[in-house]
Structure 1
Amino acid sequence: MTRRHISFLLLFLLIDTAVGEVFAGPWVWKFGASGHSWGEYGTPEGLDLAEMPGSMQPLELRPEKNLTRILQWVASKPKDFEPRSVAHIWILDPIFQINPDTALVLVDGDPTTSTGKWFKNPKKSKVGKTFYFDLGRPYYLNRIVFYPRQQGEDAGGSPHKLDYMRGFTIQVNDGDIKNFTVRVSQARTYLSPVYRTVYRRSFNDQSVVDATFPLQPVRLIKLRCTKEHRFEIAEVEFYGLGFQLEAVYTSDPVDLQRPSNFGAVRWWDSKWHMGPDGQLSPVSDTRAWVEIQTRSGSDPTPLIYYKYAIDPDTKATILVEVSKEQYEKLLKKSPNKVAGVKLDGEHWSNWSSVYDSSGQQFEYGVPRRYFQVRLIFRSTSVWDMVRVDSLAVEYYHPTLADAVVGEVAVLSNPLPGDRIARVPAGRSIHFTYDVRAERPSGRGFHGIRLVTPAPPSFVDLAIGGHSIPSDGLEISRPSPNCLQVRFKSYPVVDNTPVRLILTTSLLQAGAEISGWVFNDVDLPQPIIGGDANLQVNTDKLLVLAEAESVKEPFGPVQFLPNPITPNGDRVNDEGKLHYAILKLVDRRRVKIGIYDLAGSLVRDLWTGWQRSGVYISPPWDGIDNGGKLVPPGIYMYRIEVEEDAGTAERSGLVTVVY
């Protein structure tokens, strides 16, 4: 078994019988506590898997913990400064070009090995000899220690511990992109780090240098000799405090043995704060969180690796695909030959969006045999961290079909010229949602669930061109923007087309109407864009807003009823503002008020934060801010939304009569 291609024995047997297959499920693949080991099935970067067995948390630095011994080191200058799981060391000296691995003696944890005679030749200058360290990602450091061998002597009887640097500077870079400059060399553009000095000793008389400086994020370290005196270095050690502000775990591809549908993604975590006494305490409100993402594929290799090579005929530089093992070997020995890595988009999906909470549906398209998870641990304080105990992914096979395709169109325009459904934003539109299963399994499906950009309403369902009577349907709204239709008496067990007609609104520039088909046994299967109906040409689940309709952040705005008659007879005593907010991805401040025709505020109706959606304001009953009933007449409602470019507003009239 390899880490690139994870396989396992199923906990439940798939049994062929005379009447078909018998299945149990869904099954669960679990990482962490009571599941598969994090370390065995993935790559942790900046994470500690030993502090709490079975769990995973950001690496904590302590005064006594030497970071050098925790990191995995490679003796080469990195090709770029992207975050990585290994640390690099290199030396500005010809000896490094001849034998790069000799630099590893500085970080091997053995104080009896050193650079030896490299920097003791009296005929060669020592000034300017520079040692570089790339930790792979930022760590909060406040101390760097380095020294020569403290035991033994050379052939002339001089103790090794006297061969220390007589002067030096220590410079650092935090790895932030803004602290790099762009340079061009031989038609190649690259980033060059800008270092700043954190420690300088012009005249050093200490064999063991213990350089302390204010706690700060450090990724790159530059140690430069400034005195003309022989020296050696046995060890370089890095120390700091607190937890990593960012750490990443990426699982290896998990092999489920067969194409599968995916269910919920669940994880169990806890948040912790370290107090001044160094003790951890659990907290509910902390400045640390974890971001969970997934992706799925049809083969065990999600990435394609490339190297540079010379075309033997044209002598031009070309890209050649290599294996991961060959790529990693080149990265260590000849990093300049490494050309990069890209996702195999033909066989693998991109990383999903970050899941908002545990228990959400795994994001995927067609059923896939392989999947990966990625956990990104983040914090805004070195004293806060989140610990993940375990993560589980539900899956099930056989699938309901090889694929379930669907396409969305406007009911009145099934064949748009540009093959995209376009509608005015904010207005209720009749849509068709056509669905067809490709090579379905024997059990089929008897339900469709849609997630729409705004609250939907059911209109009709047809199977094979025949409308299903209402008494054969179960229609529900599991959430405000979700429509679910069951048709248990009319299961679809072949590629018979299904058409759902619904009304909903588009509240932004564009959105997909996501869908799933389901039965009561298997996990739901997502609907993907495709040709589900020859009479429709969109082949997509995408809906776009007409450009003119999204120039301002408002859809339809109405005050209902209008007029109002606040006379206490309970008929039209109050009215509410019905409004749609468009094109806002983030929550923005919204203010609603009632004004007289001179523009003076009569009543603060509502102020709060909202994103794109359809809303109804609190009622206005003709009472002003002073608690008094307003005189009869014409008043004005005004809704204001804060945008990046300023405040947008919409107003209208409301009449008060008695």
Structure 2
Amino acid sequence: MGAFADELRLERQSDWDSWTFPQGAVIPNADGTIGLSRIDKDTDAGLDARAFQHASKSQKEPIPGGIHVVGSGTATADNLIDGRSDTWWQPDSADVVEDWFVEIDLGRMVLAKKVRLTFPDTLDVKPFRTFSVFINDGVRASNTRDVFVFSRVGQVTEPNTERVVEYDLETVVTGAATGEHLTTGDGDTLRFMRTQHVRFVVEKHQPNAALAKIEVITIGDNAVLGSVERGGGVRGGTDKGNLLGLVDGDKNTVWTISGTADWIDSGHWFEIDLGATYWIDEAYYHLRNFRGDIPGNFELTTSDGSEAVGLTQNRIRSPFDFLHLSTIDNTFTPPRSVFDLNFSSRKARYLFLRRINVPECSQCLLTTFTDLYLFGQGYVADAVMESDFIDLGGTKSIRRLTWDADLPPGTFIEIRSQTGDTFLIERKFYSKSGVDISEAQWNKLPSSQKQDIVEIQRRGSDWSGWSTVYSSQDEVFLSPSPRRFAQLQVRLGNDDPDVAPLLRNIVLHFDDALISGGVQSRVLPREAAFDSLQSFTYVIKPTFRFGDRGFDRVVIQVPDQVGDVEISVGGDPVVPLAVEMIADSLRIDLPELIQRDSVEVMFQMRIQQNATVFNGWVSVVGDPLQQGMRPEDQHSTTVFVPSVATGGALIRAVVVTPLMTPNGDGINDEAQIRFALAKIEATSPVVTIHDLSGRTLRIVAAVDGGHSWDGRDDGGQLLPPGSYVCRISLLADVGERTVYRIINVAY
């Protein structure tokens, strides 16, 4: 992290070391840039076999994939998975042919489409002429030992002379389940086999023969693998100690559901968080050991992490907007165990699966999930990284944030900031599967089912919270300043899987604070009546230290126009040099530099929104550096409107012309419709005119902030004399509010 005079630069690989990011999804490159990884189709699982680990009966610690067993030629066996054709494995000609074999452990189970053998073809080294290829899906034949049963998938029946030999792999599907995007029906074949171990066996002694490569071509990279390492995980309603078996790529670890009660009561659901958002177009899961009338009908949904509106499904699913993927009906005989779904590419970070309640199921239901895989192609669609708390080395005023990046069309980078001065220490407790649990739950778990306690440095109450997104690559710093500490959040993503952004650097530009001890503020009174003209006092309390520059300009963010502004410094009235409203802020220039006293600003205004916050800044006239003020106490710069907070009328001060004469003489030709709204989360108000039967005649549009009706319907026809209903409606987060008034029309 480079700091030069008045800036802090993040642009070297080491500058990102303290950041938290989804491992393997966000890539810190050697040149200091930050990019996104990708998942692909038709990948060779042998090339990265060593990057995956799995449990072993022979060792306490997980073992990596790679060359598992070699009968002869140990020194050259690694050449089989180095991706090169000019290196090879060659058994020792002095060894018996029974030892001429090699076995690859892919480190995880994959859905393999083919095994491709590449032989050298030189004057001195030739392809093997007789051999067999075997595979195993990783399932042990013994509960106590690493013993595996292999199936032959390829064998040379005639002496081989080819340099490249391929064996396609297929799985026959039994069971006639139905569901959207389900690939095949009963008796059809899937284009892959479950594979973790591949064994190559030479059947006849052949001097000067060798094998250059064993490639295991798969459906593609499984996005589920690495979910926990990326900060995601899996949670579910039952068999919680085995949930990790759904995302570990090990077919020996399983998750089991049993019982026939409601899916919520039985806990027959799970939700996987990938830790980042991927483009996916294929899902696969496998059931086994099912008993009962129905092995399980299931619904699958996915979410890209967008927040949901309203309640989530029975409050079990996370509060995100989920998109339906498929409803699997598995009530047929025989039931189906393998499910492969292909669909249009979609963004997904979360997958939620639940059992569908089936009333006919009367016997005990028992179903075991061995694995769930997600595949796709393209760069990571969305990932978030956060800095550690950045110590600025003292209280600093951050002026600007700049950043540089490559942003191809269809990509985006969003940066947010927050600042503060104090910290708290929080202890977190996690199950083995990465689920956040309570301390009491953690204490009850055996050590094998829980992770170590994690102590996390949390932001104190003086932290600002995340700013809005920086809208340009050179912008005024959006978080309160000066502060001692800052934190940054970067979101990288795309709307096109073929492109990705590349972040080159982030720079914070800062100065020493104008008032090194900080500036506190409060507003009085703390409560106000709705839309009532009222006097307020904004108190500014700086803490000066030797060498501080001081300030002579005050800016206060206000919700409306202000009037009757008065200033006092150290308790004495002063005449300001200038008082001006700039957009939503009141700006005051003081007659002299303030270097020791407090300042009070008195003004009058109306408030229509509950919990109105008055933020403030001080500066020196002519200098762009601004120093933010901190509330003296929690909410001390917030004014509350009790009548709004307690659900009072949201549509207020309604004034509607009771009688109109639309005869074109310019007198009372229009009915004026005026009202005030409490400022809450709401849509725009809708004003409509109805006859006494309730039929809508006119929708009245707002003009210059108000509404007026000319006595005509939506077709432009003058309505006959009579009484009409004016309806003013507002749809807010607390519900719909409606006010009615009568307008009489006469000629």
Q: TM-score range by the shorter chain?
A: 0.5 to 0.7
Counterpart residue type for residue 513 of structure 2: P
Q: 1:128 to 1:147 in 2, by over 3 A?
A: closer
The change in CA–CA distance for 1:253 and 1:404 in structure 2 (over 3 A counts) is same
What SS does the corresponding residue of 2:687 show, helix, strand or coil?
strand
> What runs of 5+ residues in structure 2 fail to find an aligned partner?
69-77, 84-88, 90-102, 107-137, 151-190, 247-269, 273-282, 289-338, 352-372, 431-438, 441-446
Match of 2:490 among 362, 367, 375: 375
Q: How many residues align?
A: 510
Task: Tell whether the 8 Å contact from 2:730 to 2:738 is kept in structure 1 after alignment.
Answer: yes
User: Residue 541 of structure 2 corresponds to which residue in structure 1?
Assistant: 436
Note closer, same or farther for the CA distance 1:347–1:564 as it changes in structure 2 (3 Å cut): closer
Matched, 1:652 2:614: no
Q: 1:340 matched to which residue of 2?
A: 454
- Offset from partner CA, 1:172-196 (integer Å, 9 cap, x none): 95969997313478xx998875598
Matched-pair contact (CA < 8 Å) for 1:182–1:190: no
Matched, 1:100 2:62: yes
Q: Conserved in 2, the CA contact under 8 Å of 1:30 and 1:36?
A: no
Whether contact under 8 Å (1:182, 1:191) holds in the other structure is no
Alignment of 1:404-553 (within 5 A): 404-410=519-525, 421-425=526-530, 427=532, 429-439=534-544, 442-452=548-558, 454-464=559-569, 465-469=571-575, 472-478=577-583, 482-508=584-610, 510-520=611-621, 521=623, 523-530=625-632, 540-546=636-642, 550-551=646-647
One-letter amino acid matched to 2:37: L
- The range that moved more, 485-494 or 64-73, is 64-73
Separation of aligned partners in 2, 1:626 and 1:218: 50
CA distance in 2, matches of 1:307, 1:181: 17
Q: Distance in 1 between matches of 2:707 and 2:14?
A: 52
Aligned equivalents of 1:617 and 1:178: distance in 2? 52
Letter in 2 for 1:525: Q
- Tell me what 2:419 maps to: 296
Equivalent in the alignment of 1:642: 731
TM-superposition CA deviations, 1:47-76 (whole Å, max 9, x none) = 24559x775443233447779978996xxx
Matches of 1:255 and 1:69 in 2, distance apart?
A: 41
Length-normalised TM-score, structure 2: 0.54
Q: Secondary structure at the match of 2:58?
A: helix
Q: Secondary structure, in 3 states, of the residue corresponding to 1:95?
A: coil
**Does the C-alpha gap of structure 1 residues 432 and 241 become closer, same or farther in structure 2, counting only changes over 3 Å?**
same
- 8 Å contact from structure 2 (residues 556, 585) kept in 1: yes
Q: Distance in 2 between matches of 1:128 and 1:427?
A: 83
Q: Is the 8 A contact 2:396 2:510 kept in 1?
A: yes
CA distance in 2: counterparts of 1:644 and 1:179, whole angstroms: 32
Q: Secondary structure in 2 aligned to 1:8? A: strand
State the shift of 1:307 in Å. Answer: 9.0
1:180 equivalent to 2:226? Answer no
Cα shift readout 1:97-126 (whole Å, capped 9, x = no counterpart): 2x335558799975889559x999999464
Tell me if the contact between 1:68 and 1:238 (Cα under 8 Å) persists in the aligned partners. Answer: no
Residue identity in the other structure for 2:512: H
**8 Å CA contact 1:41, 1:251 repeated in 2:** yes
Q: 1:47: which partner in 2?
A: 26
Contact 1:145–1:238 under 8 Å retained in 2: no
Q: Cα distance, 1:339 vs. partner?
A: 0.9
Displacement of 1:530? 0.9
Change (3 A) 1:306 1:622: closer
Q: What is the distance in 2 between the residues matched to 1:571 and 1:263?
A: 57
Distance 2:672 2:502 in 1: 46
What is the alpha-carbon distance in structure 1 between the residues aligned to residue 243 and residue 375 of structure 2?
A: 30
Shift of 1:437: 0.9
1:245 aligned residue (361, 371, 381): 381
* SS of structure 2 residue aligned to 1:439: coil
The alpha carbon displacement at 1:500 in A equals 3.4
CA distance, structure 1, for counterparts of residue 384 and residue 588 of structure 2? 41
* CA distance 1:428–1:250, change in 2 (3 Å): same
Structure number with the bigger relative contact order (C-alpha 8 A, sep ≥ 6) is 1
1:394-417 residue CA offsets vs partner (Å, 9 max, x unmatched) = 32213334211111222xxxxxxx
> C-alpha deviations, 1:456-485, integer Å up to 9, x for none?
324323223344447x3231232xxx2222
Inter-partner Cα distance in structure 1 for 2:728 and 2:651: 12
1:214-253 equivalences in 2 (<5 Å): 214=342, 240-253=376-389
Q: Is the 8 A contact 2:608 2:677 kept in 1?
A: no
CA deviation profile, 1:146-176 (whole Å, cap 9, x unmatched) = 55476999x9x999999999xxxx9995969
Deviation of the 1:584 alpha carbon: 4.0
Which residue is 1:556 aligned to? 652
Corresponding residue for residue 323 of structure 1 = none
CA distance in 1, matches of 2:407, 2:649: 38
Percent of pairs identical after alignment?
16
Q: Work out the CA distance in 2 between the residues paired with 1:360 and 1:578.
A: 40
Structure 1: segments with no counterpart, 5+ residues: 1-5, 11-26, 74-88, 130-141, 202-210, 221-236, 273-281, 309-316, 319-332, 411-420, 532-537, 609-614
Instruction: State the 1:433 CA deviation.
Output: 1.8
Structure with greater Cα Rg:
2
Alignment partner for residue 36 of structure 2, among 45, 54, 58?
58
- For 1:526, the aligned partner's letter is G
Match of 2:513 in 1: 398
